[in-house]
Amino acid sequence: MHRTLWLAALLAGVATGAQAAPRHAASIVRTQFGIPHISASDWRGAAYGVAYAYAQDNLCLLAEEYVTVNGERSRHFGPAGKAVVAFEPIDNLASDLFFRSQIDIAALRKGLARQPRAAVDLIDGYVAGYNRFLRDAGPQGVPAACRGKPWVRAITRDDMLRLNEKQMLLAGSLPLAAGIANAAPPAAKAVASAGPAMALPGDGETGIGSNGWAFGGDVTSDGRGLLVGNPHFPWNGPNRFWQMHVTIPGVYDVMGGGLAGTPMPTLGFNKDVAWTHTVTASRHFTLFQLTLDPADPTAYLVDGKSVKMTKTQVTVPMPDGTPPVTRTFYGSRFGALTVVPAALMGWTGKNAFAIRDANHNNQRGLATWLAIGQAKSAADIRAAVETSLGIPWVNTIAVDRAGNALLADVTAVPNVSAAHIDGCAVPATRALLASRARLVLLDGSRAACDWQVARGTPAPGLMPAADQAVVARTDYAANSNDSYWLNTPRAPYRLLSPILGPAQSLRTLRTRSGLVEIESQLAAGKLDARIARTMAFANKSLAADLVLPALLPLCVADASLADACTALAGWNRRFDNDSRGAYLFAAFWNRVEGNPAIWRTKFDVADAVNTPRDLITDGAVGETLRAALKAAVERLRTEGIALDARWGDVHFAQRGADRIPIHGAHGELGVLNVQQAVVVPGGMTPVHGTSYIQVVGFDAIGPVADALLSYSQSTNPESPHFGDQTREYAAKRWHRLPFTPAEIAAARLGPGLTITE
């Protein structure tokens, strides 16, 4: 496109005046690893600078994300291509159908008018900053990956509203997007495929996870708060973190990270508080089983009366020359119709299923994170979270300089108590709730089975904060994605609604590993930031500690396993880059970790951190273990990998021609520094896991923060920040973040940039 036409298209409809004062203005200074420090005089300017800096680093990624939320993937990438809309891929057509049918842009526009002015200004400022970068870059300044593509375009406020709605649904109904796209009456033909591998929420560890530790003044060497935050998020795609520092003098001064399209940090620190997030075990939606009218499969019975489903027609554009796809979607008073094949939930002549998500049209998050960023204490953060119920699907873990620690498992959750679920159960309810998916299924034939309405909540049907879990202590609280029940073994939480997650039940090896390490360190003395950094990257495997002492004698007795035993005996039981034998153990453990029969001492609610344990090595279980180890040996031989290979030689990230060794491993190994990987030639490469990791304490003046972004700031291979922090992560070299004006000035790269319009 000719540059004149490019500029005209971007500037269309924008009135300018030579004498008008700038509506948007920001200063951007970059420090080591390309971290931008954005300063402005108001919220519009702050977001203007954030968007510009983000587009400099990740334009193609964000431009494609706007394609996704607008339901245009089929048109630009073909209907059969794949999109990652939550944390698992679905076909483009299903993605488009979901977003076009489920995002109510009119409602979002109306809802925005009810938000604080600062939230509106942040959205409008981000739009202006993104579009300003496109104008400045011009067609030839767009990265090669998306240069000349018609989907790289100026954005509007509606694009931001759609993107925000997508982020709110990320760990709720969005993973079931294909099921919503496929819901059709029995006689109709679905036009998109949910796919045989459609995963239910809770089916193992997907890309959402994290560790968050808040240490209070009773256990720190300086009596101040100390935070360890380690979100486990994808290494690729729109759910990558990006570091930033945003300052409005006298109003806001926060450094941390956010996802694509986020106009300010959603986790990080200011001079008085630090916070992180972990994905909560709560469910943010419920399913309703509808009893259909025998005379009409598109009508359902409520208290004996037939109610006609609503119908919405959606059209998805296809590539040029291909007719568009039109589909009719059905809705009920309980939400959109869906099918969940993996849970045997289809649309028959007798029943159908609807889904209601507590985060649908939740626009309170932005204001909540603004309040958190302006907090002066952990109590302020608690108040922001509890009042708004705007945090969508993550725990909030925080500390302050006074030595207070907070873990608030308070989110937008359906208000359904244990008694309500029990009283509104259908035959499948208990089995689904007890499954790994933990789906809450209610009876949609009774109006009384809809969510309960509590006085004072910001939206009807939300669970009040008083009925959710808050841990406020001066020793510590920790979460690794298990439920509210055992965030510290020193004070297990009282039983709450099952929609908030299972209680008095088995914890994951990662949760157990974290609590074991914390208690062990505290038994030796008080914590400081150096110890915390060491703990975060220790890469110990609790699975190895539990298994190897009994496994090695078993396999030594089998001559066919002698080489395997030698490799495992020489392993240091860690997943460091120089750990030899780690790959063999991971291949073995992958075959047996889900088998509860291998443990002699079963789970004990009174000793949840240390049970189950004691590996059984005789009889049928012993044979199972031998067979698993032999299969692991065979796998490595097939892949051409030595039994005692160094972990960093077979577990790596590719950055251009460089193969960078990556320490850490899957959480199911009981490793805290999670890296989930896929098999590639020569080993495995991370796809999600440790991302933006921070250890934050305080001195007498302000924050003292060490951090790393494992996959680096930019997704552009031509950027100097495409792999620089990845190399630092490989070497376990932490980066002290510059926060004060003097620190930023001393660390700045280049002259900086001021943008106005």
Catalytic residues: 210
Q: How many beta carbons lie within 10 A of that of residue 468, not counting itself?
A: 22
Please choose, from the candidates 236, 280, 395, the residue with its C-alpha nearest in 3D space to the C-alpha of residue 722.
236
Instruction: Give the closest residue to 33 by CA, choosing from 730, 708, 740, 653.
Output: 708
Q: What is the CA radius of gyration of the chain?
A: 26
Candidates 532, 534, 508, 525; CA nearest to 274 is 532
φ, ψ for residue 565 (rounded to 5)? -65, -40
Residue 123: count other Cβ atoms within 10 Å of its Cβ: 24
The C-alpha atoms of residue 757 and residue 744 are separated, in whole angstroms, by 25
Side-chain half-sphere CA neighbours of 295 within 13 A: 5
Q: How far apart are CA 177 and CA 583, in angstroms?
A: 35
b/e sequence 176-199, b meaning 16+ C-beta within 10 Å: bbbbbbbbbbeeeebbbebbeebb
Max Cα distance, the chain (Å):
87
- C-alpha closest to that of 176 among 33, 331, 287: 287
Amino acid identity of residue 57, one-letter, is D
Cα dist from 148 to 4, 144, 152, whole Å: 15, 9, 8
How far is residue 203 from each of residues 286, 436, 543, 688, measured CA to CA in Å? 17, 6, 20, 16
The Cα 314–Cα 325 span in angstroms is 8
- Rounded to an integer, what distance in angstroms lies between the CA atom of residue 445 and that of residue 754? 60
* Position 18, amino acid: A
Residue located via tokens 């204001």 = 367
Beta bridge partners of 308: 299
Distance CA 93, CA 91 (A): 6
If residue 165 lies in a helix (H) or strand (E), which one and from where to where?
helix 157-168
One-letter amino acid for residue 472 of the chain: A
- What are 357's two structure tokens? 């998500």
From CA 421, how far away is CA 16, in angstroms rounded? 58
Is residue 520 within 8 A of residue 534, CB to CB? The reply is no
The token duo for 189 is 């033909």
